[in-house]
Amino acid sequence: MPTSQPTQTAEVARLLAKCQRVVALTGAGISVESGIPDFRSKGGLWTRFPPDQYATIQAFMDDPEKVWQMLAEMEKVLDRAKPNPGHLALSRLEKLGVVEGIITQNIDGLHQEAGSKTVVEFHGSHRTLGCQWCGKGYGSDEFDGTETPPLCSCGKVLKPDVVFFGEAIPTRAMNDANSLASGCRVMLVVGTSAEVVPASQMPMLAKRNGATVVEVNVERTLLTDSVTDHFLQGKAGVVLTDLANEIAKLL
Ligand SMILES: [Zn+2]
């Protein structure tokens, strides 16, 4: 039965320090503290821009200007966001040789901004854009945001390299995630209920290969009573900072 949180944090810290080869699976919950509301939450992006009309690849191909009304809003939120203590703690744990890599469902690039090096982005990134018609790629820093929608040199509207509904997860991300998840000793699930494929498969894959699953979430999820071995309840920024401080003492 779960013990009180401080005891449990210390126990998990010992486990992580001993096992190393830790892979983190992160979701929207870790970026909420950076001011990015979960798109699915009340007041989130999807309540104002229904994803079937604004976030499918078909919607983009049919009417990219319309989809950019949603993307412009999303960019405004993402551009303002800075890494929070949760992102920084994971980056610190990578430098300490404890965290091997991060698999994230987020498109905000905040793990990299926090200094993490091995980051697999399941749903792509908003930091690069591509042309669906001629294939040319651009960095989002090549556009200052006044130009909406941003255009390719061929004249067509560019699409951020985020995975739209109806698009496949990039093969490379899928392969990298599978290899990280199947090779880790501990999977640290942070800020996600991991109910959406393929993220949902990662804790199971890790577990089948002998890993311990540690979950950090504000609320219990479907994972908590199924695959989770240790549940640390709380905000990612608080829990991960405590964990990183404890681990640093043990190394
Ligand atoms: Zn083009």
Tens of pLDDT along 95-113? Answer: 999 999 999 999 999 999 9
Structural domain count, the chain: 2
Let me know whether 95 and 28 are in one domain: yes
Please give the share of the chain, as a percent, with pLDDT higher than 70. 98
Q: Supply the pLDDT for residue 38.
A: 84
What confidence tier does 246 reach under pLDDT thresholds 50, 70, 90? very high
* Three-state DSSP state, 133: coil
Let me know whether 220 and 149 are in one domain: no
Let me know whether 235 and 176 are in one domain: yes
Q: Supply the pLDDT for residue 102.
A: 98
Strand partners, 23: 101, 187
Two tokens, residue 248: 């640093």
- SS3 percent helix, strand, coil of the chain, rounded to 5, is 40, 20, 40
Residue in 27, 5, 30, 17 with CA at minimum distance from that of residue 185: 17
CB 217 within 8 A of CB 189: yes
| Cα radius of gyration rounded to whole Å, the chain | 19
Let me know whether 174 and 90 are in one domain: yes
Whole-structure pTM value? 0.93
Let me know whether 137 and 214 are in one domain: no
Let me know whether 175 and 56 are in one domain: no
Last residue of a domain, one of 113, 140, 162: 162
Q: Supply the pLDDT for residue 138.
A: 96
Let me know whether 180 and 234 are in one domain: yes
* Three-state DSSP state, 79: helix
H/E element holding 138?
strand 137-139
| Position 220 pLDDT exceeds 90 | yes
* Three-state DSSP state, 214: strand
Ligand 1 center–CA 168 separation, angstroms: 21
CB 108 within 8 A of CB 36: yes
Ligand 1 center–CA 16 separation, angstroms: 47
What confidence tier does 5 reach under pLDDT thresholds 50, 70, 90? confident
Let me know whether 27 and 46 are in one domain: no
Q: Which residue has the tokens 């203590």?
A: 85
Ligand 1 center–CA 44 separation, angstroms: 31
Return residues with CB closer than 5 A to ligand 1 (ion): 131, 133-134, 136, 152, 154, 156
Last residue of a domain, one of 162, 179, 209: 162
| Position 1 pLDDT exceeds 70 | no
Ligand 1 center–CA 144 separation, angstroms: 19
CB 205 within 8 A of CB 181: yes
What confidence tier does 128 reach under pLDDT thresholds 50, 70, 90? very high
Let me know whether 119 and 218 are in one domain: yes
| Residue positions annotated with a catalytic role | 123
* Three-state DSSP state, 134: coil
Let me know whether 50 and 97 are in one domain: no
What is the domain extent for residue 97? 1-35+83-123+168-251
